[in-house]
Amino acid sequence: MDAAQPLAISRPAEASRSLGGVQRAYFYLVALVAVHMVVLAVANLLRVGAEIATNATPGGFTGLPFVFTDLNQPGEVHRQQASLAVALLVVGLPAWLIHFGYAQRVARRSIEDRASAWRSFHLHVVVVVTALLVWGYGQRTLGLILQGTFFRTVASNGSFFGLEPQWEARALGAGAMALTAAGALAYHLWVSNGDRRATLVAGRAAGIRHLVFYGLALIGLFGTAIAAISALTQIWQYVVDGLVVPPGIREFAPSPFAGREATLRFQLLLIVPQIVAGLALWLGTWIPLQRGLRGGTSDTDVERQSPVRKLAIYLVVLLSAVAVLAAGTIALADIGRRLLGDPVVEQFSSLQNELGTPLVTVVVFGAIWIFYRRVVSADASRETEKERAANVRRVYTYLIAAIGLAMLAIGLAGIIGVLGSIGMGINTHTHSEIATYGALVILGTPAWAFSWWQARRRLDDDERRSLPRRGYLYLAVFGGVVGLLVFVSAILYRLLNAVLAGAFPLSMWHDVWHFTVDAAVSAGAFLFHLGVVRADRGAQIVAEARPHPFTVLVRAADAAAARARLAAALEGQADITVR
């Protein structure tokens, strides 16, 4: 061999080859089972150790509470639980190290493996499971610590307040699971982020990641919202009861150990951990997702164009809008029925108490609605394509318009129907029902009118052709037709039944009146939106018929001769000019 010739060392083909689809499935599924065995084992070993150290009775096997339910022999239960945890660790840890370790070595050499759907599935199933474990057991740990710390004196005086016995050991056990799951969560997030830094993760792999992260964000957001509504409602009732004491409360002197202040504090301490855990879950997923939209790279395009992102955002907008409008309707209906003469008959309630939950719901979900409305606008501004940006706004606009139209139609039909009942002298509608119809009209009218005005303001040929607009219009037309079919059939049924019976009581005419009003409102919605559909189609036909100027370039050796030949061929066609 020539001394100057470099020595070539070849690596075995197996070392650089990526995993096949079946191999990936095997390695990642086994690793998925094994890593959860390890999490259960470590968490329960820590829990058993804490219970023995604090001389506490055994709790359930964390993660598998149905195992070892006979707690009559604490020492035996601890021994069995520790044995099961060690067995899970001895079997699960080597299995995870072997299978995930090999998959990691292959992924470091193969870009294809880093971006595979099976790898993404494994990583993000672990992420979603461990994140939910941290979320659930973390709030239980914080709740037990807060309750035990602030109510220890009260509990010793005989007021139990639901405080768990041996809360210190239970908090340590829940904390052990939260801490163990947090370690597994952090590691798999680190691996997932490393994959995205090393290569572009798109397609099904990116879709799995988005599904997990946006799902966790929604769980955290709505969990926080529900907990915040509960906490604010408790505070509202405490303040209102101090200002306007309900009749039932005046008859009872408060217990010295169950005063309203202590009860409120304990209830808030139950809710605060839920708010903290929910905010941590939402912010811990939403902020990284938002950061992924910046940078202008191909990975940024994957994040921005994710269908899961659009679905999640519009789901939040839909649910928050429905919650705000529904709660607002309930609040206005409560006020309306009191104005119509309904007394407060509940012994421990008042109008102020009844308004608490609806108004708090409007505030909480109203803030969410406003926030995600701004997210929709921000997403539209980031779109590089004009049509795609416009569609982002259109979906939101026509979604709110559809909700407002439904509320307006139901409320208007109800109000007109009630007026007819009053005119006939057989008003069978309660004040609550009448007030609800009025509230639907009051809130549904601006929701629909403002959205429709925005759509009209941006009306052009692209708007008319857009899928969100056509979807809204045809849904409204379909709803109007269905309403006509149903209510006209009901009218004919009542009339034919009366003819065959030979009797036309006032109750029959009352029913016919209501069905007629419902049919008329359905017809109104149908005719209005059908007119819009026809106008849109007419405008599109005119736009298509309008001449569109374009230029044809002809190359010839003799330009003058070419012009003469073209002019002769196109003689008599005034709309074509030869230059």
Per the structure block, which two tokens stand in for 370? 């406003």
C-alpha distances (whole Å) from 182 to each of 145, 177, 189, 221 are 19, 8, 10, 20
Q: In the chain, which stretches have pLDDT less than 50?
A: 1-16, 154-160, 253-258, 545
Q: How many other β-carbons are positioned within 10 Å of the β-carbon of residue 179?
A: 16
Reported as a single tens digit per residue, the pLDDT across 548-573 is: 555 666 666 667 776 777 676 666 66
C-alpha distances (whole Å) from 71 to each of 48, 66, 78, 176 are 13, 12, 9, 21
CA 197, chain centre distance (Å): 28
Q: Which amino acid is at 407?
A: M
Q: What is the pLDDT of residue 259?
A: 60
Crossing angle, helix 203-243 and helix 117-150, to 10 degrees?
20
Backbone angles phi, psi at 425, to 5 degrees: 80, 15
Q: What is d(CA 476, CA 195) in angstroms, rounded to the nearest whole number?
A: 46
Helix residue spans in 340-385 (DSSP H): 351-382
Q: What is the pLDDT of residue 68?
A: 61
C-alpha distances (whole Å) from 69 to each of 53, 164, 293 are 21, 18, 49
Q: What is d(CA 395, CA 385) in angstroms, rounded to the nearest whole number?
A: 16
Per the structure block, which two tokens stand in for 397? 């606009």
Query: Cβ distance 46 to 65 under 8 Å?
Result: no
Q: What is the pLDDT of residue 508?
A: 86
The residues spanned by each domain of the chain are: 18-199, 219-248+255-382, 383-544
CA 161, chain centre distance (Å): 34
Q: Which amino acid is at 40?
A: L
C-alpha distances (whole Å) from 264 to each of 99, 239, 287, 416 are 52, 11, 33, 45
Reported as a single tens digit per residue, the pLDDT across 206-218 is: 889 999 999 999 9
Reported as a single tens digit per residue, the pLDDT across 87-111 is: 999 999 999 999 999 888 888 888 8
- Is pTM, for the whole model, over 0.85? no
Q: What is d(CA 285, CA 292) in angstroms, rounded to the nearest whole number?
A: 11
* CB contact set of 179 (below 8 Å; sequence gap of 6+): 43, 46
Place of tokens 């080597």: 94
Q: What is d(CA 458, CA 20) in angstroms, rounded to the nearest whole number?
A: 52
Q: What is d(CA 298, CA 202) in angstroms, rounded to the nearest whole number?
A: 9
Q: How many other β-carbons are positioned within 10 Å of the β-carbon of residue 28?
A: 22
